Structure 1
Amino acid sequence: MKEIRFENVCKSYGKTEVVKNLNLTIKEGERLILLGPSGCGKSTTLRMIAGLEDITSGSLYMGDKRVNELPSGKRNVGMVFQNYALYPHMNVIQNITYGLKVQKFPKDEINLRTDAALGMLQLKGYENRLPKDLSGGQRQRVALARAVVKQSDYFLLDEPLSNLDAQLRVSARKELVKIHELYKQTFVYVTHDQVEAMTVGDRIALMYQGHLQMVDTPENVYNRPANIFTAKFIGSPPMNVIDMAFDNSNDSAYLAGQEIPLQEEWRNYIRQTGVKELAFGIRPEHITLSKTQLKNGLKGFVKYVENHGSSYGVYIDLEGNEIIAMSESNKWPPKEAIYVEPRLDKMHVFDKQTTNSIGYPTSIR
């Protein structure tokens, strides 16, 4: 077994707790993305796996072994750092093979692994160059090659693509997936970039302020967020979340003071939960816009329009609530009246007090 398991793990620096009661199992051979904003504890979590940070309390298991006190060098991990951490006085080959030589691998085995990594990461012809003579993308590939040749059970990556331009990031993401599909290591990848998380990960573990918010597939994290933070962090533009009033006496729901005709399944479900203070969520792409009254439309006013290239983000004021909807055309002059119709089969409802999703009726999606 090559799974990784956190049981009630906490990490503090003095009185500052940066990882709080973490319970998480990373399955053997999966690609798990640790996602979240800066300072959420994701890199600290990765460094605890690598043995580069001590655990304040709780237990970390790798396979069936508790590793809290196990030195980093005995954990069989390959790690790629954000700044690549290449030796500046060593050329490409020396950087890639240094770890294998320290571990006294046979020369033939070192040559075999190195040749395979050079070919896979398109580094042939660069073997004798120093890091200062390489581009950022090439240095990143050398760092990957150094981790790949170890053929470790665990492959840990700490924002390895953050220093690359947009085009290089796309090609590098493909290389990472190919590496994993070849070696099938237990793969843990830290990033704040949701595009990387959605495209690379089998599952996403979203963190915020040291707490784990949600762990699930990219599809479920996007389509069924566990709470308001997840709903707003995943998606660009983010999900619209505004207050919703629900009248139990007549099963009526109101957004920005205007009634919306919820499906019977939703009305029954909301009533059964007994939640008093609600928030309504809808993604920008699930809103229809019109200059004329729509059957289930809410009246608002255009604030401004953002050009997104293939589409336009239309910012709208609904009785003091700002929402954004996506449109294929730029025909919405500022201050003009506009009618907004959310797709109610794509709606989300949250408990305002806990910020958690109240869930979904079984008949919805």
Structure 2
Amino acid sequence: MKEIRFENVWKSYGKTEVVKGLNFTIKEGERLILLGPSGCGKSTTLRMIAGLEEITSGELYMNDRVVNDVPSGKRDVAMVFQNYALYPHMNVVDNITYGLRVQKVPRSETRNRLDAALKMLKLEGYENRLPKDLSGGQRQRVALARAVVKKSNYFLLDEPLSNLDAQLRVSARKELVKIHELYRQTIVYVTHDQIEAMTVGERIALMNEGKLQMLDTPENVYHRPANIFTAKFIGSPPTNVVEVTYLDGKIMFGNQSFQLLPMWVKQVEQSKTSRIAFGIRPEHLEINKTADKNTLKGTVKYVENQGNSYGVYVDLQGNEVIALSESKYWPKGETVYLKPFMNHIHLFNCETTNSIGYPAELDQEETTLERVLIHE
């Protein structure tokens, strides 16, 4: 099994702990994204897999063997760096094939791999150019081609698209997925860009301050966040999170309240906590000018143009929350009413910051909906 497994892995620089007790497995042949803010330990984790950083304690397994002391060159990894790391004096062909020549891969096989990579990454016609004569996007594709031709079992990418413009990033993401679908290497991809994480990853490992916060599919990371950090980090605009009080089946916002559905009442009471943080994504918060059942009264602070919608910032009992609207006509100071979509709320334990969980009925509803859509 060409999986990667962390068992209580720590990394420290002196007294500074950068990675703290990682315990998780990267499945053979999957695309796993290491996501998190700057300084969270994601690049250090990738470099430990590559053998470029020593492990302070714990054990790292690759292909069912401990590799803590195995040199980088013997780990069967191909790595793409953020700064490309191309040889400036070598042309495109030599940059791509240098590693194969060192490994003494037969010339005919080298040629076949080179031709396939040039075609796949649209580098035909650039074979004799030096890196200085290439654009940023072309250099990035050369770096990717160099990794692809190695046909390594492990493909490690450290923010490989961060230097590209927005349009190139979109096309490059597609190429990466195509490469993986063709070769099915175990891919570990580091980024701080949540859009890249959601579009490229089969699973996301979200990190913060050296600790793993959540490991799951992009869908679950978005719709079923494990804790407050995950809820706020994933999504733009971020999830609204407000500390509230639970009382007799109701969520209390100061002197306002709304009634929870029975499935949520059961979930809260099973958690045995009254100090709760209420979370709702802006797209799941309906904003109106008239009151309705289970609405909360607030005041418009300002409106932000989001491109395809408008973010309406509302003062709700001293808390600022944002709702998305198709209309920009929400005057500052106007009284509005917010209504959460009850199937899309998130409730967290204020003491642990962890989710109190999600009602089983939600999963049953989603499964039924999937079956209806497939039938249609």
Partner of 1:173: 173
Partner of 1:189: 189
Question: 5+ residue gaps in structure 2?
Answer: 364-376
User: Would you say 1:346 and 2:344 are equivalent positions?
Assistant: yes
Partner of 1:303: 301
Greater Cα offset, 250-259 or 210-219: 250-259
Partner of 2:75: 75
Superposed, 1:124-143 pairs within 5 Å as 124-143=124-143
* TM-score, structure 1 normalization: 0.98
Mapped to 2, the partners of 1:98 and 1:124 lie a distance apart of: 18
Amino acid paired to 1:209 = E
Mapped to 1, the partners of 2:191 and 2:333 lie a distance apart of: 39
SS at match of 1:47: helix
The CA RMSD measured in Å over matched residues stands at 0.8
SS at match of 2:181: helix
Following superposition, the deviation at residue 268 of structure 1 comes to 2.2
Aligned residues between the structures: 363
Mapped to 2, the partners of 1:336 and 1:224 lie a distance apart of: 33
Mapped to 2, the partners of 1:160 and 1:185 lie a distance apart of: 17
Amino acid paired to 1:37 = P
Partner of 2:259: 261
Greater Cα offset, 263-272 or 195-204: 263-272
Mapped to 1, the partners of 2:328 and 2:63 lie a distance apart of: 55
Amino acid paired to 1:128 = N
Following superposition, the deviation at residue 26 of structure 1 comes to 0.2
Contact kept in structure 1, 2:253 and 2:317, CA below 8 Å: no
Following superposition, the deviation at residue 255 of structure 1 comes to 2.0
Q: Identify the match of residue 337 of structure 1 among 335, 338, 351.
A: 335
Partner of 1:294: 292
1:288-326 alpha-carbon deviations (Å, 9 max, x no partner): 111111221110000000111110000000011000000
Mapped to 2, the partners of 1:252 and 1:308 lie a distance apart of: 32
Amino acid paired to 1:183 = Y
User: Would you say 1:47 and 2:76 are equivalent positions?
Assistant: no
Mapped to 2, the partners of 1:127 and 1:171 lie a distance apart of: 21
Mapped to 1, the partners of 2:110 and 2:267 lie a distance apart of: 61
Partner of 1:8: 8
Partner of 1:63: 63
Question: 5+ residue gaps in structure 1?
Answer: none
Contact kept in structure 2, 1:243 and 1:256, CA below 8 Å: no
Greater Cα offset, 286-295 or 163-172: 286-295
Amino acid paired to 2:283 = E
1:33-60 alpha-carbon deviations (Å, 9 max, x no partner): 0000000000000000000000000000
User: Would you say 1:221 and 2:221 are equivalent positions?
Assistant: yes
Contact kept in structure 1, 2:100 and 2:110, CA below 8 Å: yes
Percent identity, please: 72
1:326-363 alpha-carbon deviations (Å, 9 max, x no partner): 00111100111111111112111000111000001211
User: Would you say 1:251 and 2:240 are equivalent positions?
Assistant: no
Mapped to 1, the partners of 2:362 and 2:60 lie a distance apart of: 38
Following superposition, the deviation at residue 185 of structure 1 comes to 0.2
Mapped to 2, the partners of 1:312 and 1:251 lie a distance apart of: 32
Q: Identify the match of residue 326 of structure 1 among 315, 324, 327.
A: 324
Partner of 1:314: 312
Mapped to 2, the partners of 1:16 and 1:320 lie a distance apart of: 38
Following superposition, the deviation at residue 22 of structure 1 comes to 0.3
Contact kept in structure 1, 2:33 and 2:201, CA below 8 Å: yes
Mapped to 2, the partners of 1:279 and 1:197 lie a distance apart of: 26
Mapped to 2, the partners of 1:61 and 1:246 lie a distance apart of: 45
Mapped to 1, the partners of 2:362 and 2:267 lie a distance apart of: 11
Following superposition, the deviation at residue 253 of structure 1 comes to 2.1
Partner of 2:366: none
Mapped to 1, the partners of 2:86 and 2:69 lie a distance apart of: 27
User: Would you say 1:27 and 2:19 are equivalent positions?
Assistant: no
Mapped to 1, the partners of 2:250 and 2:270 lie a distance apart of: 14
Superposed, 1:58-137 pairs within 5 Å as 58-137=58-137
* TM-score, structure 2 normalization: 0.95
Contact kept in structure 2, 1:245 and 1:255, CA below 8 Å: yes
- Structure 1 runs of 4+ off > 3 angstroms? none
Mapped to 1, the partners of 2:132 and 2:170 lie a distance apart of: 23
Mapped to 1, the partners of 2:271 and 2:108 lie a distance apart of: 65
SS at match of 1:364: helix
Amino acid paired to 2:183 = Y
1:80-130 alpha-carbon deviations (Å, 9 max, x no partner): 000000000111001001101011111111111101100100001000000
Amino acid paired to 2:338 = V
User: Would you say 1:200 and 2:217 are equivalent positions?
Assistant: no
Following superposition, the deviation at residue 259 of structure 1 comes to 1.0
SS at match of 1:104: coil
SS at match of 2:37: coil
Amino acid paired to 1:98 = Y
Contact kept in structure 2, 1:256 and 1:318, CA below 8 Å: no
